[in-house]
Structure 1
Amino acid sequence: MTDPTKINFTVYVDITTSPATYTYTDAQGVSCDGSVTVTEDNTQIVYTMGTNGLIFLPPTITGDTGGDLLTSITADKQCLTIVDSDIDNENACLILVVAEASNPNIPYPSPDPMIRNVPR
Structure 2
Amino acid sequence: MPESTLDLARQLVDDVRAALDAAGLEGVHATLDANEIPSAARNGVVCVSPPTVTFETWNDPAPAFELNAVAGPADNYLAAWERLDRILRALHSGELNLKRAEPGGFQPSNGSVLPAYTITLNEME
- The TM-score normalised by the length of structure 1 is 0.31
Question: Whose helix proportion is higher, 1 or 2?
Answer: 2
- Select the structure with the greater relative contact order (CA < 8 A; seq sep ≥ 6): 1
